[in-house]
Amino acid sequence: MPYTEEIYARVVEQNPGEVEFHQAVKEVLDSLKVVIDANEEKYRSLGLLERLVEPERIISFKVPWVDDEGKVQVNKGYRVQFNSAIGPYKGGLRFHPSVNQSILKFLGFEQIFKNSLTGLPIGGGKGGSNFDPKGKSDREVMAFCQSFMTELSKYIGADQDVPAGDIGVGGREIGYLYGQYKRLTGLYEGVLTGKGLSYGGSLIRTQATGYGLIYMLEEMVAAKGESLEGKTVIVTGSGNVAIYAVEKVTQLGAKVVAMNDSNGYIYDANGINLDVVKDIKEVRRGRIKEYADLVPGSVYTEGKGIWNIACDIYLPCATQNELDLEAVKILKANGCEIIAEGANMPTTREATDYILENGILFMPGKAANAGGVATSALEMSQNSMRYSWTAEEVDAKLKGIMKDIYAKVSDAAARYGLEGNYVAGANIAGFEKVVDAMMAQGIV
Ligand code: NDP
């Protein structure tokens, strides 16, 4: 049996029920097959893939806190420290009821290759809790964050593991987490990224994932000899990634006509008014359907189906497996030419295969959304230097990194005769650096 298939079977057998983790491993191994086949003997002798698919450490803990009614609540907390071959573990914290070990392992595994692609010295990790910040008071969120950090603080540090935000973890949560870390350890260090500007945050970090996605999109469009001017775009989600993707792509002359949240989607033929979305989502923490009440001519539709709207470019920026085979067939039939993933693994495996076989240009999340973690690494650098770069400096570095990732991804695909297959290109380019570092460091 080929080495990649043997390892996939081992992962399924040893991690029962962890379907998201299996899916992520399968996608990576399938596209690395060409590289691994060519080096099979060497990699086998070093147990390279066995070591790559096993997290270095998983920390799992209880998070007790008291709600506003005085009732004790208990959530599950996790940190998956997946791979530190090229730097301290780095990856976000997700607070969402769906969070479980499988989802965090899939995200941590993806993070290894994404972080490698940035060219910066950061290993792969991910963490979070099944806590749902939605509908909680600020005091409840603070109580939860303080309890979560009381345990997590034992395992993280500026040169060890540096978490950031993800779904459900924004500026408010990072602030409460940082305050508690500092109180417990007495250290004022860059242990978290996504911090506020008044206490060590980096300019442009809030915008970085969305802006970076659009800088990547610019490269993809340019490779087709086109520009973003006049393109019709759909951006899914209406959180951090989605909002700043809409902001940048609109600045560059495209028109975003639809966005959604987990309840339904809005369509605005005149182009989404982002100030209204920001007010609903960032200020009032409301629902996207309120947009239709505030903007004449826009329409709200309850439920799924945003992909039924025609577009040139589709940017899934909400969550994993939001885009399935049926949906991409409709996108293709309606003329969609490019899909770039702002979210992590938003496209199912069947849908990805269809996209690659049917000539839609596709950039996977580990390359397209790497601007967030790259700017987090720039925040770490600024914290270490005790110095801050200007917004223009950070934005220019972010743009340079996204261009560089595009070049690496398309070069890796071309080297293996897979021109235009950016899924393979991203996995191969990310893998090469990690493997090199793992081989140099011996069996650890
Ligand atoms: P946020 O919590 O800020 O926003 C998530 C958005 O997605 C919300 O609007 C949410 O709506 C919506 N959503 C969630 N589930 C669904 C669903 N099933 N259908 C439709 N909409 C849904 O998270 P982020 O913007 O930070 O993260 C989005 C994605 O990007 C995630 O996959 C994350 O891992 C990835 N990512 C984030 C980075 C970052 O820097 N923030 C970096 C790299 C990747 P609702 O409010 O209804 O739940």
Mean pLDDT of 76-83: 98
Q: Where in the chain is the domain with CATH 3.40.50.720?
A: 208-368
Mean pLDDT of 108-128: 98
Mean pLDDT of the chain: 97
Task: State pTM to two decimals.
Answer: 0.95
pLDDT band per the 50, 70, 90 thresholds, residue 153:
very high
Q: Would strands 72-83 and 123-129 be described as parallel, antiparallel, or unpaired?
A: antiparallel
- Catalytically active residues are 126
320 CA closest ligand 1 atom index: 32
Was domain 57-189 assigned CATH 3.40.50.10860? yes
Protein residue with least CA distance to atom 40, ligand 1: 372
> What separation in Å is there between the alpha carbon of 2 and the centre of ligand 1?
36
Element (H, E) at 226: none
Q: Give the per-residue pLDDT at 337.
A: 98
Give dist(CA 155, CA 134) in Å, integer: 27
Q: Give the per-residue pLDDT at 9.
A: 98
Residue to probe by mutation, ligand 1, list 93, 166, 347, most atoms within 8 Å of CB: 166
Contacts of 286 (CB under 8 A, 6+ apart): 280
263 CA closest ligand 1 atom index: 47
Contacts of 429 (CB under 8 A, 6+ apart): 116, 117, 408, 409, 411, 412
Element (H, E) at 1: none
Instruction: Write out the two tokens for 206.
Output: 């809030």
Instruction: Write out the two tokens for 289.
Output: 């359907």
365 CA closest ligand 1 atom index: 44
Residue-wise pLDDT tens digits, 246-257: 999 999 999 999
Residue-wise pLDDT tens digits, 32-65: 999 999 999 999 999 999 999 999 999 999 999 9
Q: Where in the chain is the domain with CATH 3.40.50.10860?
A: 57-189
Report which DSSP code applies to 237: -
DSSP 401-435: HHHHHHHHHHHHHHHTT-TT-HHHHHHHHHHHHHH
Q: Give the per-residue pLDDT at 19.
A: 97
Give dist(CA 308, CA 30) in Å, integer: 30
Pick the CATH number of 208-368 from 3.10.129.10, 3.40.309.10, 3.20.20.140, 3.40.50.720: 3.40.50.720
Q: Would strands 361-363 and 232-235 be described as parallel, antiparallel, or unpaired?
A: unpaired
Residue-wise pLDDT tens digits, 359-416: 999 999 999 999 999 999 999 999 999 999 999 999 999 999 999 999 999 999 999 9
If phi > 0 it is left, if psi is from -120 to 50 it is alpha, else beta; for residue 159 that is alpha
DSSP 70-108: S-EEEEEEEEEEEE-SSSSEEEEEEE-TT--HHHHHHHH
Give dist(CA 341, CA 230) in Å, integer: 20
> What separation in Å is there between the alpha carbon of 225 and the centre of ligand 1?
31
Contacts of 137 (CB under 8 A, 6+ apart): 68
The pocket around ligand 1, CB under 6 angstroms, is made up of 165-168, 209, 237-242, 260-263, 317-319, 322, 342-344, 369, 372
> What separation in Å is there between the alpha carbon of 1 and the centre of ligand 1?
38
Alpha-carbon separation of residue 314 from 210, 272, 354 (angstroms): 14, 15, 15
Contacts of 237 (CB under 8 A, 6+ apart): 259, 260, 261, 316, 317, 318, 319, 342, 343
Instruction: Write out the two tokens for 290.
Output: 């309120």
Residue-wise pLDDT tens digits, 63-77: 999 999 999 999 999
